[in-house]
Amino acid sequence: MDQLDFPPFSKRIPGMEGAENELVRQRRDKQASLEQLDGARYPNDFRMSCFVSDALAAGEGKDGTTLGAEAIEVAIAGRVIAVNGFGKASFIRVRDQSGTIQAYVKKDVVDEATFERLKLTDIGDIVGVRGTLFRTRTDELTIQAHEYRVLTKAQHPLPEKWHGLKDMEQRHRMRYVDLIVNEESRAVFRTRTRVIQYVRKFLDDRAYLEVETPMMHPILGGANARPFRTHHNALDMDLYLRIAPELYLKRLVVGGFDRVYEINRNFRNEGLSNRHNPEFTMIEFYQAYATYLDLMDLTEELMRGLAMDVRGKTTTEFRGHTIDFGPSFRRLSVCDGLKEYCGFEEADLHDVALAEVKVLAAGVSPAEVNHTLKNLADASSRDKALAIGMLAFELKVEPHLVQPTFVTDFPAVISPLSRRKDSDPTLVDRFEMYIACNEIANAFSELNDPQDQEQRFQAQMAAKAAGDAEAMEYDEDYVRALTFGLPPTAGEGIGIDRVVMLMTGCENIRDVILFPLLRPEG
């Protein structure tokens, strides 16, 4: 079998093919020379005294004379990202996690071996520099090197210095190279971390408890999605990778943790797109004695504060739109949306035959309508009307939801874990937050009536039997948990990747995931 063959040599030892071979060979020769010079290969005895940012801070605002008098010594380490060489001196730009600083290595200041090391340096090498701070003719704070060492030789050359690495596939496959050469990429992932830190602090400050629940589930639930399957050998047990943590988090609310949240991965075995990665990061949080209305207020506050924190303002640019988190978010019920953008009358929302006319007129395909109705054989005409109305909603209403919008009051029939509206049991107390026509969050007042939950699970099982691959399974233990008493609770899930996309302007989810799933390299 071809699949069992080892990958080509070049895949295991990058660079050992074609002309690249020559570049790698040259660098390995230099590495050997350095080894001879230092008597060590991959030395690890260099000790930095500070980060680059600390060195920059130490010289901040001090002129050349002051620096000369103070003779501030620093030892920094990092990657060489640029070299300006002269015959008997060189400027090298060194970057660590905190920043970039320039070092100046001058032949009549350092010993012969040190100067030799300089000549054996390539862009991309990891070096250590010890020296004193001074200012160059152009007033740039620079380290006058007394000690200069190559700590790790880069055997493979880096991409070109001002175009960087452009090819998106290469950037995803070799994220390490992308991060070395593309500042925008580093900025995106710093922002990602900051988003997660902000969300965490926001909830911590409001007495939410961060918890971890299983990612391997024996029963499928918490969302409508197709799962990944796996197997535990010792227990001889089939398991799903979780599609949502929801049911476990609500068990914790039953247990008395009134406010909980979890930030981690969900896995859904569905198509890939610029908005979907098979594993994605979601925050789910639950608050007892609250309703979905409370969560709308909380979510507005969160998004506004997040924008201010990571962008310094309430707006962000996305797909040519300026999204503003400053004003109160629009609130639009599903039924009102259908009336406003899709020509629905009130009567169309109660009769499946009338609804079907409007849905088809909206451009939904008959096949799609039939597919949806097939899974709802026993539902009422109202439920069916609402269910197929959602198809028209996706097609005709979502494109209008550019500014942050809470879409509210979803059909109960597609919301098996949500609390029914007191005023209309065919609808539920639920909202989804749309921004730039994308669903970013999903929240609802939780269904805490165990008998109703039983019926909803039964409906899911019926749909599954009818061929709905995304229907939930009946979770008996979850229903049992409800019989011990779940307080009135509201819960929400926010897609972190999509929030990061919004905050960074990235239009592809793969650009905000460090290592997105890719096909194996040919």
Site for RNA in 343-372 (CB under 7 A): 365, 368, 371
CB closer to RNA out of 166 and 480:
166
Report which residue type is found at 240.
Answer: Y
- One residue of 147, 270, 336, 351 binding RNA per CB under 7 A: 270
Min separation Cβ 480 and RNA, Å: 26
Within 10 Å of residue 169's Cβ, how many Cβ atoms?
11
- One residue of 45, 108, 346, 422 binding RNA per CB under 7 A: 108
CB closer to RNA out of 88 and 232:
88
The count of chain residues that interact with RNA, using the rule CB under 7 A, is 73
Min separation Cβ 64 and RNA, Å: 8
- One residue of 111, 160, 183, 297 binding RNA per CB under 7 A: 160
433-462 positions binding RNA, by CB under 7 A? 439, 442
CB closer to RNA out of 3 and 233:
3
The answer to whether residue 239 forms part of the interface with RNA (CB under 7 A) is no
The answer to whether residue 390 forms part of the interface with RNA (CB under 7 A) is yes
CB closer to RNA out of 352 and 391:
391
Place of tokens 């010993």: 111
The answer to whether residue 507 forms part of the interface with RNA (CB under 7 A) is yes
Within 10 Å of residue 155's Cβ, how many Cβ atoms?
20
Cβ neighbors of 220 (< 8 A, separation 6 or more) are 227, 240, 243, 472, 473
The answer to whether residue 86 forms part of the interface with RNA (CB under 7 A) is yes
8 A C-beta contact, residue 472 and residue 457:
yes
The answer to whether residue 167 forms part of the interface with RNA (CB under 7 A) is yes
CA–CA gap between residue 313 and residue 135 (Å, rounded): 36
Pick from 470, 475, 469, 484: nearest CA to 453: 475
CB closer to RNA out of 191 and 224:
224
Min separation Cβ 80 and RNA, Å: 10
Cβ neighbors of 347 (< 8 A, separation 6 or more) are 354
- One residue of 62, 206, 276, 321 binding RNA per CB under 7 A: 276
CB closer to RNA out of 106 and 350:
106
The answer to whether residue 10 forms part of the interface with RNA (CB under 7 A) is no
Count Cα atoms within 13 angstroms, Cβ side, for 240.
Answer: 20
Concatenating the DSSP letter of every residue in 239-256 gives: EEE-S-SHHHHHHHHHTT
Concatenating the DSSP letter of every residue in 343-405 gives: ---GGGGT-HHHHHHHHHHTT--HHHHHHHHHTTTTS-HHHHHHHHHHHHIIIIIGGG--S-E
Q: What is the separation, in whole angstroms, between the first and last Cα of the chain?
A: 15
218-237 positions binding RNA, by CB under 7 A? 223-226
Min separation Cβ 247 and RNA, Å: 16
The answer to whether residue 140 forms part of the interface with RNA (CB under 7 A) is yes
CB closer to RNA out of 99 and 450:
99
459-478 positions binding RNA, by CB under 7 A? 470
HEC assignment per residue over 76-138: EEEEEEEEEECCCEEEEEEEECCEEEEEEEECCCCCHHHHHHHHCCCCCCEEEEEEEEEECCC
Q: How many helices (H) and strands (E) does the chain have?
A: 17, 18
- One residue of 163, 205, 231, 236 binding RNA per CB under 7 A: 163
The answer to whether residue 88 forms part of the interface with RNA (CB under 7 A) is yes
- One residue of 79, 172, 420, 456 binding RNA per CB under 7 A: 172
The answer to whether residue 83 forms part of the interface with RNA (CB under 7 A) is yes
CB closer to RNA out of 128 and 495:
495
Min separation Cβ 277 and RNA, Å: 11
The answer to whether residue 66 forms part of the interface with RNA (CB under 7 A) is no
CA–CA gap between residue 512 and residue 185 (Å, rounded): 9
- One residue of 11, 22, 36, 467 binding RNA per CB under 7 A: 22
